[in-house]
Amino acid sequence: MKHERICLISLGCPKNLVDSEVMLGLLAEKGYGITPKPSHADIILINTCSFIKEATQETLDTIHEAVELKKSGSCHRVVVVGCLPQRYGSDLAREIPEVDFFLGTEEFPRIVEYLEGDPDHQKRVAVERTSFLYDHETPRLLSGHFYSAYIKIAEGCSRSCSFCIIPSLRGRFRSRPLESICEEALRLADQGVREINLVAQDTTSYGLDLQNGTNLAALLEALGRIEGIAWIRVLYAYPEHIDSRLLRRIKNSEKICNYIDLPIQHINERILRAMGRPVSRRFLERLILKIRDEIPGVSIRTTLMVGFPGESAVEFSELIDFVERIRFERLGVFEFSPEEGTQAERMVKQIPGSVKKKRRERLMQLQQRISLEHHCELIGKKVLVLAEGPVGDKDTVKGRMATQAPDIDGQVMITKGSASPGQIVTVRITEAYPYDLEGEIV
């Protein structure tokens, strides 16, 4: 039995979080202790994100804080895993000699070997490709709330968006077998998980590479039969491959949340083409109409990117008009980040940072108004809410509707009535704000 304590800091997206939870599972199985506090740890493990510049900077800051703890003698090893070492492993190894290992995106399943192997016979930087895909047998320790979990249904991405570094870090798209995903969901349900969120770089391509007729609709159908799971939510639904069968599956199942996370990035034809997105404005408009038509009451979330090279004021206005007209229920906006090694980094007419910032703010302000209007329509209505727990030491309990994904969307503050974490309760909405709602249990 090991007595060393590990603190795993998971940065970035929910897909990274699943990798972190697999590492925690492997380490816990070997008897390592787990602590959430870096200052209490013997070993600090950082699972990194390097999707855009800000994420890279946050990651570097976190590594330097861990290195300071090592220098002070508080911990004795620091290990850096994931996207950042996959991208800059050798440079980082030169610049940060205090870090013991830099392990790429597919080395993390071997974390125990690295920690327990003979340091004289181990590489300090390991970023080889192995096409690893975890399965239901892989140990995994949930790090968040016991009632909610992400399931990664595929790894990698075979698309070629000109601004994105992910395919070169994570490899080609590869789906997990349907049976393995269902088995994992079954095990999670046995542990008390009530809500699962399906993630991948591109969930709507799920199964196509398996060439056995499996697809996302079939997966949802199978997952919908698992007892104990109350809500299934699909995130990162690339607009292509969303068809009537998938929409009907979502509409006809009580368990599948009426929520579509549809990252479209932009709406101007020229920009969509320059981004390497194979869908046109017309396609996206029709798709959104079709989604709303087939799933009444659906909430559509999208992600937009402003300040792509050459984005003119007119092209940006087109995006503003589009958002005003479509009235997405939820929306996130990124500023374009010229990532080293991408096509878009080399494009001419890069947009100044101040312009990107203003454009983002403008869109966010517009969306705040639209979100508030959507939320006001809910006042007086009854909705189902998954309770998450008390807010501070107040009597208020926070929770989420099926149309609010964890961490990215708002919450419902329940000001009257009580509910335990993981319980799904009926709430009458009493107040609306741009991000959150307030309500009372009925």
Contact letters for ligand SF4, residues 290-329 (x by CB under 6 A): ----------------------------------------
Establish if 250 lies at the interface with ligand SF4 (CB under 6 A).
no
Q: Please, are residues 157 and 167 in contact by the beta-carbon 8 Å criterion?
A: yes
**Least Cβ distance, residue 335 to ligand SF4 (angstroms):** 15
**Host H or E run for residue 234:** strand 231-234
**Least Cβ distance, residue 241 to ligand SF4 (angstroms):** 12
Residue 148: what are its φ and ψ, rounded to 5°? Answer: -140, 135
Contacts of 157 (CB under 8 A, 6+ apart): 164, 166, 167, 170, 172, 173, 201, 202
**Least Cβ distance, residue 170 to ligand SF4 (angstroms):** 8
Establish if 335 lies at the interface with ligand SF4 (CB under 6 A).
no
β-strand pairing of 382-390 with 397-400: antiparallel
Output 202 or 335, the one with its CB closest to ligand SF4.
Answer: 202
* Residues 98-157 within binding reach of ligand SF4 (CB under 6 A): 157
Q: Identify the residue whose tokens are 């990798």.
A: 19
**Least Cβ distance, residue 196 to ligand SF4 (angstroms):** 21
Q: Which amino acid is at 321?
A: D
Output 154 or 414, the one with its CB closest to ligand SF4.
Answer: 154
Contact letters for ligand SF4, residues 382-421 (x by CB under 6 A): ----------------------------------------
Establish if 205 lies at the interface with ligand SF4 (CB under 6 A).
no
Establish if 202 lies at the interface with ligand SF4 (CB under 6 A).
yes
Establish if 234 lies at the interface with ligand SF4 (CB under 6 A).
no
Output 136 or 266, the one with its CB closest to ligand SF4.
Answer: 266
Alpha-carbon distance 404 to 414, whole Å?
A: 15
Q: Please, are residues 175 and 169 in contact by the beta-carbon 8 Å criterion?
A: no
**Least Cβ distance, residue 379 to ligand SF4 (angstroms):** 36
Output 322 or 334, the one with its CB closest to ligand SF4.
Answer: 334
Establish if 238 lies at the interface with ligand SF4 (CB under 6 A).
yes
Helix %, strand %, coil % of the chain (to 5) = 35, 20, 40
Contacts of 369 (CB under 8 A, 6+ apart): 434
Output 141 or 279, the one with its CB closest to ligand SF4.
Answer: 279
Output 108 or 238, the one with its CB closest to ligand SF4.
Answer: 238
Contacts of 357 (CB under 8 A, 6+ apart): 335
Residue 316: what are its φ and ψ, rounded to 5°? Answer: -65, -40
Output 184 or 202, the one with its CB closest to ligand SF4.
Answer: 202
Establish if 261 lies at the interface with ligand SF4 (CB under 6 A).
no
Tokens coding 269: 């034809």
* Residues 147-176 within binding reach of ligand SF4 (CB under 6 A): 157, 159, 161, 164, 166-167
**Least Cβ distance, residue 242 to ligand SF4 (angstroms):** 14
Contacts of 21 (CB under 8 A, 6+ apart): 140, 141, 142, 143
Helix pair 244-252, 281-294: axis angle to 10 deg: 30
CA-wise closest residue to 132 among 245, 255, 26: 26
Output 16 or 201, the one with its CB closest to ligand SF4.
Answer: 201
Output 272 or 291, the one with its CB closest to ligand SF4.
Answer: 272
**Least Cβ distance, residue 276 to ligand SF4 (angstroms):** 8
Binder of ligand SF4 out of 59, 180, 201, 214 (CB under 6 A): 201
Output 238 or 328, the one with its CB closest to ligand SF4.
Answer: 238
User: Which DSSP letter does residue 352 get?
Assistant: P
Contacts of 275 (CB under 8 A, 6+ apart): 161, 162, 163, 265, 266, 305, 308, 344
Q: Please, are residues 153 and 202 in contact by the beta-carbon 8 Å criterion?
A: no
Q: Which amino acid is at 270?
A: R
How many residues of this chain interact with ligand SF4, rule: CB under 6 A? 9
**Least Cβ distance, residue 332 to ligand SF4 (angstroms):** 13
Alpha-carbon distance 219 to 239, whole Å?
A: 18
**Least Cβ distance, residue 267 to ligand SF4 (angstroms):** 16
Interface residue list for ligand SF4 (CB under 6 A): 157, 159, 161, 164, 166-167, 201-202, 238
